[in-house]
Amino acid sequence: MNQLPTKYPYLPTWCPGCGNFGIMNAIKMAILKSGIPREKFVVVYDIGCAGNMADFLDLYGFHGLHGRALPPAAGIKLANHDLKVIVVIGDGGCYGEGATHFINLMRGNHDITVLVHDNHRYSLTTGQMSPTTDQGTKTKSTPEGALEVPMKPLALAVSNHATFIAREFSGNIPQLSMRIGQAIAHEGFSLIDTLQICSVYNPTQDLKWYKEHTVGLEMIGHDPSDKAAAWARAMEEDKLPVGLFYQEKRPAYHQLVSELQSATLLNHDKSVVKMDELLNEYR
């Protein structure tokens, strides 16, 4: 039965007011609504406050190293492309340490859904500057204010050929859940940059701040099939657009691998593999 248990052995340990509560609920709602059996989902967690969700979500999962959640996610999909693979990762892990993986998996259109919990800080390690921290912001690692200008992750996604690009807010659970459902259904690389409240290390960007500094893409008549318009929206400075920036249909990576056309790698006939011959090549 496609139901998530209502009782969990461990309750979330996130701080009161943390946006991770909303994102986790949105994931659960999207999975329940998808109609896909929950044993068909695998969630790959990065290290960070977001990654602690590994202890609270009763789904198949893998907890990767910091910044390295994307490669095992791609590997899981290639090993068994019948699975739906979701990555839970922070802005530091995805856009900092994991940026090379992020760029190259988008180019390959690997069929994984990447949920970036973007709170503009390294929060698990007590609030250092991340790639999306605003210039001039004072953090524990930038006591005189951040010197770098922040990364534009959605522009990076547009320019590196991601086929589903969205931004949502952790405080709008119904819309975030709906978007996660779309991303799960999308065949190819899907990114949802989720603006996440960190009530402890980024208290300025709270619910009120996000209400004042975001604007819905549907309110401004954006066409998600228009790549040039998606780029322009991704580069906007004044107000952060929220919604679906861009979506296109392109074969996913596993659909282009000839060996995976007849069956998942998992279901290949392993008796025909001559392991001794293979190993001898490396001796």
* Cβ–Cβ < 8 Å for 64, 85: no
Question: Applying CB under 6 A, which part among 11-19, 59-67, 94-102, 250-258 lies near ligand SF4?
Answer: 11-19
Main-chain dihedrals φ then ψ at residue 277, nearest 5 degrees:
-65, -40
- Pick out residues in 118-147 that bind ligand SF4 (CB under 6 A): 119, 123
* Cβ–Cβ < 8 Å for 92, 127: no
From residue 81 to residue 120, the character string flagging contacts with ligand SF4 as x (rule: CB under 6 A) and all else as - is --------------------------------------x-
Run of H or E including 241: strand 240-247
CB of 12 to ligand SF4, least distance (A): 9
- Pick out residues in 205-264 that bind ligand SF4 (CB under 6 A): none
CB of 196 to ligand SF4, least distance (A): 7
CB of 88 to ligand SF4, least distance (A): 13
**CA pair distance 239, 216, nearest whole angstrom:** 10
- Pick out residues in 42-71 that bind ligand SF4 (CB under 6 A): 49
Query: Which of residues 111 and 118 has its CB atom nearest to ligand SF4 in the complex?
Result: 118
- Pick out residues in 174-213 that bind ligand SF4 (CB under 6 A): 198-201
Regarding 24 and contact with ligand SF4 (CB under 6 A), the answer is no
Query: Which of residues 119 and 205 has its CB atom nearest to ligand SF4 in the complex?
Result: 119
**CA pair distance 156, 171, nearest whole angstrom:** 24
SS3 243: strand
Contacts of 197 (CB under 8 A, 6+ apart): 17, 18, 19, 119, 170, 171, 205, 206, 207, 210
Run of H or E including 215: strand 214-216
Chain residues that interact with ligand SF4, rule: CB under 6 A: 14-15, 18, 20, 49, 119, 123, 198-201
